[in-house]
Structure 1
Amino acid sequence: MSPSTAPVFVGPILAVDAAVSRVIHTAAKPLLPPFLLLLLEISADFRFSFPVSLSLLLSPPLRPFLIPFLLGLLFDLIFVGIVKLIFRRARPAYNHPSMSAAVSADHYSFPSGHASRVFFVAASVHFFTSVAEASMVDPSYSFLDGWVRDHRDGEVKGNVVVGVWIWATVTAVSRILLGRHYVLDVAAGACLGILEALFALRFLRFEQIFGR
């Protein structure tokens, strides 16, 4: 969808969004090395984040959240792809040339799949932590637990939650700086990721559903 083909009330919004995004990209381009932005891109790539998520198996108290987390990642991938194919908003013309589209939907810009994914991860860590505190009393600790759980009370460390939110925010913003997306794409993706985390927490925790 472009300003020329969008409905009358949407066209001006897209035009302003494109102009603001270009200003941000142009201002940041001389300041940030592309390799740093590309590292953030890789860290949020589904082909990387999905296998890494399996590390939850290393922590017994966190295992109940593995299924909703993985299903949430898959749902995000499919849903974002469908939305992109519906809106078909072209990516910025100044998009960094390093991009390689894995599927046809990757050619489109709205919403940002990386933004939705990282905010899904951050919101999941935040929400799942708040509901899992009672189950964190398991005395067994793995290597992963040593990094993410407080040995005194078993809860996920606060600085881990904050760190994940910072990573998500920086990665989402990097999509604009790298020229992959417009501001509106990233904002929509971030909101979508948070909603998906709430959905996964409420409807995809099968051990809770079947335990009723």
Structure 2
Amino acid sequence: MGSPKTTTPSSRPFLHPIITLDATVSLFLHTLFKPILPTFLLLLLEYSADFRFSFPVSLSIYLASPSLSSLSIPLILGLLLDLALIGLIKLTFRRARPHYNPNMSPAVHADNFSFPSGHASRVLFLATLFHLILQNDVGLVSDFIRRWIKFETHFVLLGIWVWAIMTASSRVLLGRHFLFDVLAGAFLGVLEGIVAFRFLRF
């Protein structure tokens, strides 16, 4: 089976300086933090943000408590939107992952490509959506959090943002993505969160 076609700097010469800078900074960060941060922690963050984990959890929330549809429906639809959008962009740009990327088993063909980071878009989507829902909450979601998680909502929200930022950062530190892949994914994730909150609540 032939290897997938990838975008190289020579195919888009006007992007060459940006791609070179991105690759240099990303390798520097990966090399700098690899001896410091435990790999198992970075992998745990990676698994926690995997679509194959987050989507069943969102479905479980809806099935367990249909009254939380103001949270679960935009969550489910937003995750599907993210999956489709990231896959389409990856297949369009076909940027190769970092050459120092450890052995990685892609779940789908699009996962062979690096730009943008699906993990970064997913976690920033989740953080943005939760933030908007909790900031505009009529009480149902907050009551659910206090009842089952036993923490005030602002502590839960802070924890979600810390998790999201750490997970997005882990993509560069693990060597899965370049820095610009993560930044682009994060930007898309925030936009998806806003769209889901404004237009995908039923």
TM-score by length of 1: 0.85
Q: Give aligned pairs, total.
A: 195
**What amino acid is aligned across from residue 148 of structure 2 in structure 1?**
G
Quote how far apart the aligned CAs of 1:142 are: 6.0
Q: Who is 1:80 aligned against?
A: 86
Q: Who is 1:26 aligned against?
A: 31
Q: Who is 2:170 aligned against?
A: 174
Q: Who is 1:193 aligned against?
A: 189
Q: Deviations over 1:113-168 (max 9, x none)?
A: 00000000101110111222x24399xx6687331665xxxxxx101001000000
C-alpha root-mean-square deviation of aligned residues, in Å? 2.0
SS in 2 for 1:4: helix
Alpha-carbon distance in 2 for matches of 1:88, 1:142 = 42
Out of 129, 134, 137, which is 1:129 matched to?
A: 134
Question: Are 1:148 and 1:160, in contact at CA under 8 Å, matched by a contact in 2?
Answer: no
Question: Are 2:119 and 2:168, in contact at CA under 8 Å, matched by a contact in 1?
Answer: yes
Matched, 1:38 2:43: yes
Structure number, greater radius of gyration: 1
TM-score by length of 2: 0.89
SS in 1 for 2:86: helix
More displaced 10-residue stretch of structure 1: 11-20 or 62-71: 62-71
Alpha-carbon distance in 2 for matches of 1:54, 1:3 = 41
Structure number with the higher helix fraction is: 2
Q: Who is 1:120 aligned against?
A: 125
Question: Are 1:59 and 1:144, in contact at CA under 8 Å, matched by a contact in 2?
Answer: no
Matched, 1:11 2:16: yes
Q: Who is 2:179 aligned against?
A: 183
Q: Who is 1:154 aligned against?
A: none
**What amino acid is aligned across from residue 147 of structure 2 in structure 1?**
D
Q: Could you say if the C-alpha distance between residues 149 and 64 of structure 1 is closer, same or farther in structure 2, counting changes exceeding 3 Å? A: farther
